[in-house]
Amino acid sequence: MNLEMINVGIIKKANIHIDGLTVIAGENDSGKSTVGKVLYSLIKADNMAKRKEQRHSSDKRDYTLKQVLSLVFDQTLFPRGTVQLWSDNKPAYEARFSKGSSIFNTTHSPFADATIIESPLIWNMTDFFSTVEKLRTEDEMFGIGFDIKYPYVSWDLYKKLSVERNYGALQNGPDVLNQIYSTINGKFEKSGGKYVFIKQENGKKISVPIFNTASGIRSLGILQILLENCQIHSRTLLIVDEPEVHLHPMWEVIYAQVLCEFVKSGVSVVVNTHSIYMVQALKKYSASFADRTHFYLTEKENERSTFIDVSHNLNQIFKKFNDPLQRLIWEE
């Protein structure tokens, strides 16, 4: 699959392969997250429109896309731009934006769902979203005028951490889970309707509230529960935004290895990063499927970004990331 974006937000032009592992490196505010959120919005809008058509026999894809984009981008629509995701040599998704309006067409759906992981802080929001869920149910039953604003992407991840899907488990899922358990020295389990961290200590199991666990443990815990709930599968696009922010370099390497194991099982993964450790680890662990691995570097000029394919020359990424350190050294 090939994603083409022209004049979308701060992105001037991007041509990106989405067919295994896609790594987008670059500085902050260069459009890395925009790529993932636009992909997520197209997939979600298509799926929502299908469900609406089944219930109401009407096609409202343009309106649905506009709704989803507003939720994902916090009510901000693109003034203009075009997006196409090509699959099997034809556009699977096509969206055009102009003056706050949108036109959205689909020919077929290469993905059944998409998931964005932005931060392990989702665990801090579970009580809030549990309350939101109750209020939504009461609103549907009694029309109480439910109107609490909340981030849609986080809500979607919360639901996936709460509900098991009937998709089949990944072929190498048990091995990946064992690696996660071993790394965090325990596992996340539900107790009294809430997740806790069950820690192994001196041969004993100790229950620890999630808010008392390290953010690195919570980061890997998200992957554990998504995997156990069958929310990660070959028809899912998994988008991970800057996972290194909450990880020790050693765990960055392990996290990258887990993501590559997902790809080996047929999952498409997009990673946005500005970490040398993450890029190098993803390169190493993707060696067995290098033909389905693509690295991109964002280049920003006059507040607009282009995306350069550097799959065959990662030194461009490493130089970009090392420049701040070099400046510090030479300035001294």
pLDDT tens track for 117-134:
999 999 998 888 888 877
Per-residue pLDDT tens listing for the chain (332 residues): 999 999 988 899 999 999 899 999 998 888 899 999 989 988 888 888 777 666 555 556 777 777 788 778 765 666 688 999 998 888 898 888 887 677 888 888 889 899 999 999 999 988 888 888 777 776 666 565 556 667 889 999 999 999 888 777 788 899 999 999 999 999 999 988 889 999 988 888 999 999 899 999 999 999 999 999 999 988 899 999 999 999 999 999 999 999 999 999 999 999 999 999 999 999 999 999 999 999 999 998 888 999 999 999 999 999 888 887 777 787 65
3-state secondary structure (DSSP) of residue 318? helix
Domains of the chain, with CATH numbers?
1-112+237-246+263-332 (3.40.50), 119-234 (no CATH)
- pLDDT at position 143 is 60
Per-residue pLDDT tens over the stretch 284-327:
999 999 999 999 999 988 889 999 999 999 999 998 888 877 77
Q: CA 171 to CA 264: how far, in whole Å?
A: 9
Strands 80-87 and 304-309: unpaired
DSSP 166: S
Largest CA distance in the chain: 68
User: Which helix (H) or strand (E) element contains residue 142?
Assistant: helix 126-142
- pLDDT at position 142 is 59
Contact 252, 275 (CB under 8 A): yes
- pLDDT at position 24 is 97
- pLDDT at position 267 is 95
Q: CA 92 to CA 85: how far, in whole Å?
A: 6
Q: CA 104 to CA 42: how far, in whole Å?
A: 8
Residue type, 25: A
Per-residue pLDDT tens over the stretch 209-237:
998 999 999 999 999 999 999 999 888 99
